[in-house]
């Protein structure tokens, strides 16, 4: 029964990936215009040149032919196409961008998990008190703030102290490994903090709710009646069971964070997948958009599967 659950979740994820690939193909073909139509605004871009480029990129072929070729290249060859803008493979363009996004997102998520879980547990244990209200109110504020507005606010507050644009200092010539690491880290702080603060607010609320629900269970009341210390009740019984929905929420949110970093990367000019998507939209670079959206969608699907498998592993009631 339990092995069947794993198989069912993996097959469901593969089916979802196929549907995402299909929608990814159709959505961009349904948009008005194409990369070739943009050439009408370029000097010396004759109709003959436009027709030649349309043949080169296969834009003049029947839609079904383009779809079959797209599935073949995506699934069998792991080829996401060639960028209209720089004529380089999409996968090569996005590889470095994805690594930059993951670095920034992981730093922000680490901050949010550590502080969000700790504050959420304290708020739940002190529920109804002034400590609880004082901890929950900032979490609600951070959770409600638009991420791009929060990024601009941090730039205004810390722009004179920390870098606010790019990933490295272009005027830092031939840096050592340590200098390069510190340079990247200093540029990463503000975009990571922007994502981390929003997630911090969300995790505080999730953990607080989960711990409060667990503290109301009968076995917690029995442990209190027996005379167990508060720390033992919290650490060994309440927190352990409350972490089930928390771990699932963290795994689920991580997939969405990668996609949600688009606004943050645009505000801070961080060279990640989000900024690549923004530039590809301006350039009508369909292969880049398809590749980026496919990677973002797969990251969400993968994190959903991981969340289900972690919950399945930790909770014997799931089958």
Structure tokens belonging to residue 58: 């296969």
- What is the CATH T-level fold of the domain 94-282, as seen in this structure? MetI-like fold (1.10.3720)
Strand partners, 89: 82
What is the domain partition of the chain in residue ranges?
Answer: 94-282
| Among the listed residues 262, 264, 141, 116, the one whose alpha carbon sits nearest the alpha carbon of residue 199 | 116
Give residue 73's pLDDT.
79
Tokens of 231: 């720390």
Answer for the pair 211, 121: CB distance below 8 angstroms, yes or no: yes
Give the chain's residues under pLDDT 50: 40-43
Rounded distance between C-alpha atoms, residue 156 and residue 142, angstroms: 17
- Contact between residue 243 and residue 69 where contact means Cβ atoms under 8 Å apart: no
pLDDT confidence of residue 152 = 92
Q: What is the pLDDT of residue 35?
A: 54
Q: What is the pLDDT of residue 233?
A: 77
* Alpha helices (H) along 88-176: 90-125, 130-144, 147-158
CA dist., res. 175 & res. 180, Å (int):
6
255: which residues sit within 8 A by CB, 6+ positions away?
299, 300, 301, 302, 303, 304
3-state secondary structure of 55: helix
What is the pTM assigned to this prediction?
0.78
């Amino acid at each position: 029964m339990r092995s069947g659950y794993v198989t069912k979740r993996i097959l469901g994820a593969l089916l979802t990936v196929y549907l995402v690939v299909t929608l990814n193909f159709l959505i961009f073909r349904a948009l008005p215009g194409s990369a070739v139509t943009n050439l009408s605004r370029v000097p010396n871009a004759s109709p003959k040149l436009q027709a030649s480029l349309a043949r080169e990129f296969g834009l003049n072929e029947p839609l079904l032919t383009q779809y079959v070729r797209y599935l073949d290249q995506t699934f069998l060859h792991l080829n996401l196409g060639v960028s209209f803008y720089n004529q380089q493979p999409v996968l090569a363009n996005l590889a470095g961008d994805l690594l930059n996004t993951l670095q920034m997102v992981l730093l922000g998520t680490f901050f949010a998990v550590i502080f969000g879980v700790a504050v959420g547990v304290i708020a739940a244990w002190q529920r109804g008190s002034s400590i609880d209200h004082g901890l929950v109110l900032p979490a609600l504020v951070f959770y409600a703030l638009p991420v791009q507005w929060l990024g601009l606010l941090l730039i205004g507050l810390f722009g004179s102290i920390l870098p606010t644009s790019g990933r490295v200092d272009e005027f830092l010539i031939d840096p050592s490994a340590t200098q390069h690491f510190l340079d990247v880290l200093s540029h990463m702080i503000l975009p990571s903090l922007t994502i981390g603060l929003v997630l911090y607010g969300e995790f505080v609320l999730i953990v607080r709710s989960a711990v409060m629900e667990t503290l109301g269970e009968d076995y917690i009341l029995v442990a209190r009646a027996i005379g167990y210390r508060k720390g033992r009740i919290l650490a060994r019984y309440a927190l352990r069971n409350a972490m089930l929905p928390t771990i699932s929420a963290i795994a689920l949110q991580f997939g969405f964070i990668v996609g949600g970093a688009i606004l943050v990367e645009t505000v801070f000019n961080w060279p990640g997948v989000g900024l690549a998507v923004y530039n590809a939209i301006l350039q009508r670079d369909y292969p880049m958009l398809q590749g980026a959206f496919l990677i973002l969608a797969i990251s969400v699907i993968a994190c959903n599967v991981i969340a289900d498998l972690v919950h399945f592993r930790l909770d014997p009631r799931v089958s």
